[in-house]
Amino acid sequence: MLADVTQRLHGEYKVPGGKLVAVDLAVEEGRLAQVSVSGDFFLEPDDALGLIDATLTGMPSTADAGQLERALDAALPSSVAMAGFDTRAVALAVRRALGLATGWADHEFTYLDPGPLTLATHAALDEVLGRELAAGRRGPTFRFWEWEEPAVVIGSFQSLRNEVDAEAAQRYGVSVVRRVSGGGAMFMEAGNCITFSLVVPETLVDSMSYEASYAFLDAWVLDALADVGVEARYAGLNDIASPAGKIAGAAQKRFVGGAVLHHVTMAYDIDADKMLEVLRIGREKLSDKGTKSANKRVDPVRSQTRLPRAEVMASFLRTFRSRYKVVDGALTQDELAAAEQLVTSKFGTQEWTARVP
């Protein structure tokens, strides 16, 4: 139970694409007191605001966002109209006021640029940096992947034989790396994708559903794409799409101790013919669309931006820096050593790669 707090606590939550919700409150005998909700949202009738305050007053200070949301939903008549926000947004603002949830502004992100690494090392670093944050030895981090060898990176739960044509992969010198997050396979030759990893504390997505957390953590990416001339939106659970089709897919892994790994891969300029030979699932997806032969490149980012990959990545980094507190940093020798050890014991082994045959 949270200790009583006599001074007023303040929390804010900005609804993606919506309005700001602010909550001021105190904690008395383990319960919410002096609750006052405000913001630039729209609410009818006016007196519904008082009902929101009254409903929250007396709730346990340890209530999670779901409990707060359900209490508000039960208390508000169906005639109440909320525009630009909802009861979930109010609940998240309360959690932030109590220090149980955080916002982007509460964190300083370290930008890491370790240069080209093997894709197995990148996959290992995702785990190392996630566990380092969970252990309190490292803060939130942001980094792009750079690599030189061609590979397929498959999701944690995908079948190796169902996803990858082993004979074609060997013919083209394509290795296979299994990552710790779920999601689909990525065909990754050097220079054909834009991939980044974001490691954040779980408090940043406190009480959000997986679906909501994907869109929340990628809201800046839509702005970054707009900055290079691409109109994009979130589609489904974890895809980013434009009017020209899918651009990117995201994946997540949550570590014990309170860290979230969120990474995204965008198609910059992919050799579609080679991809279809190496990825079995790619053949299925394109055959469903009536495409018999790719004989082209899948290049939604290159064709829509007309920019070199490096310029697109530099623009993305500028957008990230403009929205959040970012400092430049470097991987420690211990982190690099831990990643290399994980490549040897896990990510570079057949046992891990073929754990789902």
Cis peptide bond prior to 45, omega within 30° of 0: yes
pLDDT at 170: 96
Domain 5-101 class? Answer: alpha beta
Q: What is the pTM of this model?
A: 0.86
pLDDT at 16: 77
What are the structure tokens assigned to 310, written together? 């490096």
pLDDT at 152: 97
Low-confidence ranges of the chain (pLDDT < 50): 287-295
Superfamily of domain 105-353: Bira Bifunctional Protein; Domain 2 (3.30.930.10)
For 271-278, which contacts have Cβ atoms below 8 Å and span 24 or more sequence positions? Answer: 271/189, 271/192, 271/297, 272/296, 272/297, 272/298, 274/172, 274/187, 274/189, 275/187, 277/165, 277/168, 277/172, 278/152, 278/164, 278/165, 278/168, 278/169, 278/172, 278/174, 278/187
3-state secondary structure (DSSP) of residue 285: helix
Residues of each domain in the chain carrying CATH 3.30.930.10:
105-353
Residues of each domain in the chain carrying CATH 3.30.390.50:
5-101
Q: What share of the chain is helix, strand, coil (3-state, %, to 5)?
A: 40, 30, 35
pLDDT at 2: 62
- Cα dihedral: 33, 39, 44, 46 (round 10): 60
At residue 66's C-alpha, the angle toward residues 69 and 256, to 5°, is 150
Beta bridge partners of 26: 33
